[in-house]
Amino acid sequence: MAAPKHFPWSDKSLSPDARADMVIKEMTLDEKIQLLHGPGWQAIFAPQESGPLTRAIAVLGFIPGIPRLGIPDLQMTDSNQGISMAGAKGRYATALPSDEAMASAWDPQLSYEIGTMLGQEMRDMGFNMSLGSGINMIREPRNGRTFEYKGEDPLLAGTLAGQELKAEKALHLITDVKHYAVNDQDSGRIVVNSIISKRAMRESDLFAFQIALQDSGAGAVMCSYNKINGTYGCENAYTLTDVLKKDFGFKGFVVSDWGATQSTTKAANAGLDIEMPGNDSFGEPLKKAVESGEVSPARLDDMVHRILRTEFDSGIVDDPPQPQSPNVMHGFEVAQKTAEEGAVLLKNAHDQLPLNASSVRSIAVIGGHADVGVISGGGSSQVSPAGGNPVPPPQSLAKNPFTAFMLLEVYHRSAPLKGIEQKAPKATVKFDPGTDPASAAALARSSEVAIVFAVQHASEGMDLENLSMPNNQDALIEAVAAANPHTIVVLETGGAVLMPWIDKVAGVVEAWYPGIRGSEAIANLLFGDVHPSGKLPLTFPKSEADLPHPLHVGPPKPDADHPLPKLVGAPGLIGMAMGIGPFFDVHYDEGLKVGYKWYDAEKKPVLFPFGYGLTYTTFTYSGLKITSGDGATVSFTVKNTGKRAGTEIAQVYASLPQSAGEPPNRLVGWTRIDLAPGESKQATVTVNRDRLSVFDEETDSWKLPAGQYTIRVGASSRDLPLEHALSFEK
């Protein structure tokens, strides 16, 4: 499709706002309304033989454009673990590692590379809008979508999402950040009311969005299913208009999560611009609300303006995607690099790793379907497995789309067993499925090294029952470790898990959901062809009793006091059935103390702290210097004191003056440093003023508290050998 040339608003020298206004002047009311909603649930489920929906790559993510005015269709796709709506038309897409892997790399440049790869694949398939990057905070580690998010710190999550989306925007796509906001658990997501203070919200969950939007210029924000302090996320004037549009200065549009629009007038006037994928609220009802004056013509034009100006600003009008075959090999490279940089070495007793390929004689590979593939996360971000799922699901599951959506365990065809065999051609490598701990232990006993692959399924639409490894895998690991002191556990999990066996195994590698090149990446790390460098983007607690919410809160059973709510858009909500129950509240009383800030403030020991990760060498820190200006410039020296090359992710934390009432430490910056054996390098981290500020509810503004700060530098949130005072005056 060639770019339209013949409209007055085709003039690229005009601003996106001016171009949008010119189009609006030509539009009828029906055309305006058409841009504000999806096809409707009935149309989605009906076969399409004619009409605009036949142009849709995926009807679930489609809004027809206005050809007579040169306004393109919006073709949207999820893109958290790769392009997931590609499967709608049977197209191949690279299955990337989960977002948690990307976050563990702490590498903004890698995030940019990921964004470029995703953006190119979207264009290759004809999509012009990404449904983005998920950056909800990990307040509830049992959240089934932890794997789609980027950890528990707003600076880390916001910065990485910012780079990913900046790269996609540079390829002329509309980009999106989600799920706005405080959608920090998934069970009961459409009936849960997240109760949280303004200050906690602004400094944590919303701060992540603020950073991502500032850094990327993303054109869309997806509002979430849940209520926030009593009002649905998609009709919440505080979050959508006061904060997002006014305070953040966001000029793009707000799109509802799928089926999350609960009203017409309230939602439109609160700041929602597009209902997806239905039309129950923003189709005919919105037209009527405009005609009756409940939604003003000015607000209607603002909604349309936001969409059109984003279309011009992103480049989707001037440079529409030209479908072509994807560069599969490049996708592999990015997937592998992400899996390698994102894996976190959690334990390595007696330098058990890396394995020596030329001397190891026998290896037992156990469990996790490691003979055929690696597991991935479920739900809307699920990338169709190339070549099909090598671990066929039970028939009963596959037949029901709603349960399948959550419960299907999909593996990608990248078998760790093969990667290990290739690295150690002289060794005897045997596989045991791990279903019978005794048989696995027998194989481990007769092998020099045992590698257990332990997998955890997690998905959108549900939370984990607990943080324990499912399916008797703890017992499997215990049995194998008892049989072989050289036992290494490779975890493929959505987030943090408990490890009752941690003292009994020699090594632990957290590989997250490692994607289509998981096998190569894991083998490279285990055999030392690549050194591990990832650091945890979230805390691994010792026990669920230590969590801010030891008991997970879900929807109560319906009864006279807790009736089932009446929700708008009933047919569509079948798809969200997993979220329906009586309304309930989750009190985020931990407030500012998200993740490590909680464990630090409560002085709780943890299994592995935020920011933690080992490698095959060691580092020392020295020479901290700080110069203050508007914020602070922090410099220090890191030395590689071991015998192998390594990459250190050096982290900078700040303690604010006591009067600020903040948790003990907050991450304010970091840098990645590559070091040869014996090499030292000086690193400099700039800490912007906003990283040191607090949100003052009384004045509704940010303030830099006066007084004494302590800047700390080191290898994790709990290993900060350098510290220096810093003062700011009133």
Q: 151 or 373, CB closer to ligand BGC?
A: 151
Q: How far is the CB of 128 from ligand BGC (least distance, A)?
A: 15
What distance in Å separates the CA atoms of residue 579 and residue 588, rounded to the nearest whole number?
A: 19
Specify whether the CB–CB gap between 235 and 266 falls below 8 A: yes
Contact pick of 37, 150, 172, 178 for ligand BGC (by CB under 6 A): 178
Question: Look-up: residue for tokens 């509309």?
Answer: 174
Contact pick of 24, 59, 131, 211 for ligand BGC (by CB under 6 A): 131
Query: Is the preceding omega at residue 354 within 30 degrees of 0, hence cis?
Result: yes
Query: Applying CB under 6 A, does 168 fall inside the site for ligand BGC?
Result: no
Q: 178 or 347, CB closer to ligand BGC?
A: 178
Residue of 154, 160, 161 whose CA lies nearest to 137: 154
Q: What share of the chain is helix, strand, coil (3-state, %, to 5)?
A: 35, 20, 45
Q: 140 or 460, CB closer to ligand BGC?
A: 460
Q: How far is the CB of 31 from ligand BGC (least distance, A)?
A: 25
3-state secondary structure 459-528: ECCCCCCCCCCCCCHHHHHHHHHHHCCCEEEEEECCCCCCCCCHHHCCEEEECCCCHHHHHHHHHHHHCC
Residue of 282, 241, 242, 237 whose CA lies nearest to 259: 282
Which tokens in the block code for residue 400? 């029901």
Torsion-angle region of residue 490: left (phi > 0), alpha (psi -120 to 50) or beta?
A: beta
Q: How far is the CB of 391 from ligand BGC (least distance, A)?
A: 24
Q: Where are the beta strands (DSSP E) in 326-448?
A: 344-348, 362-366, 374-375, 411-412, 428-432
Q: 260 or 650, CB closer to ligand BGC?
A: 260
Contact pick of 53, 71, 72, 78 for ligand BGC (by CB under 6 A): 78
Q: How far is the CB of 63 from ligand BGC (least distance, A)?
A: 13
Build a one-symbol-per-residue string for 108-127: x at contacts with ligand BGC by CB under 6 A, - elsewhere: --------------------
Q: How far is the CB of 203 from ligand BGC (least distance, A)?
A: 24
Counting residues that bind ligand BGC (by CB under 6 A) gives 7
Q: How far is the CB of 131 from ligand BGC (least distance, A)?
A: 4
Q: 27 or 218, CB closer to ligand BGC?
A: 218
| Partner residues linked to 292 by β-bridges | none
Specify whether the CB–CB gap between 518 and 374 falls below 8 A: yes
Q: Where are the beta strands (DSSP E) in 303-448?
A: 344-348, 362-366, 374-375, 411-412, 428-432
- The 3-state DSSP class for residue 667 equals strand
Q: Which residue is nearest to ligand BGC (CB)?
A: 380
Q: 419 or 579, CB closer to ligand BGC?
A: 579
Query: Applying CB under 6 A, does 380 fall inside the site for ligand BGC?
Result: yes
Query: Applying CB under 6 A, does 257 fall inside the site for ligand BGC?
Result: yes
Which tokens in the block code for residue 216? 């990327």
Q: 14 or 88, CB closer to ligand BGC?
A: 88
Which tokens in the block code for residue 464? 């984990």
Q: 190 or 687, CB closer to ligand BGC?
A: 190
Specify whether the CB–CB gap between 672 and 649 falls below 8 A: yes
Q: 257 or 273, CB closer to ligand BGC?
A: 257
Q: How far is the CB of 380 from ligand BGC (least distance, A)?
A: 3
Residue of 95, 145, 122 whose CA lies nearest to 538: 145
Roughly how many angstroms between the first and final C-alpha of the chain, as a whole number? 59
Q: How far is the CB of 269 from ligand BGC (least distance, A)?
A: 24
Q: How far is the CB of 460 from ligand BGC (least distance, A)?
A: 6
Q: 250 or 405, CB closer to ligand BGC?
A: 405
| Partner residues linked to 130 by β-bridges | 77
- Residues written for the chain: 730
Question: CB neighbours of 517 closer than 8 A, spacing ≥ 6?
Answer: 332, 335, 336, 339, 414
What distance in Å separates the CA atoms of residue 223 and residue 213, rounded to the nearest whole number?
A: 14
Q: How far is the CB of 491 from ligand BGC (least distance, A)?
A: 25
Build a one-symbol-per-residue string for 586-605: x at contacts with ligand BGC by CB under 6 A, - elsewhere: --------------------
Q: 135 or 526, CB closer to ligand BGC?
A: 135
Q: How far is the CB of 145 from ligand BGC (least distance, A)?
A: 8
Q: How far is the CB of 17 from ligand BGC (least distance, A)?
A: 27
Q: 38 or 631, CB closer to ligand BGC?
A: 38
Angle at 380 between CA 239 and CA 395, to 5 degrees: 145
Interaction residues for ligand BGC, span 414-443 (CB under 6 A): none
Interaction residues for ligand BGC, span 460-499 (CB under 6 A): 460
Interaction residues for ligand BGC, span 542-581 (CB under 6 A): none
Q: How far is the CB of 12 from ligand BGC (least distance, A)?
A: 30
Query: Applying CB under 6 A, does 258 fall inside the site for ligand BGC?
Result: yes
Interaction residues for ligand BGC, span 447-466 (CB under 6 A): 460
Q: 78 or 99, CB closer to ligand BGC?
A: 78
Query: Applying CB under 6 A, does 150 fall inside the site for ligand BGC?
Result: no
Cβ count within 10 A of residue 286: 24
Footprint of ligand BGC (CB under 6 A): 78, 131, 178, 257-258, 380, 460
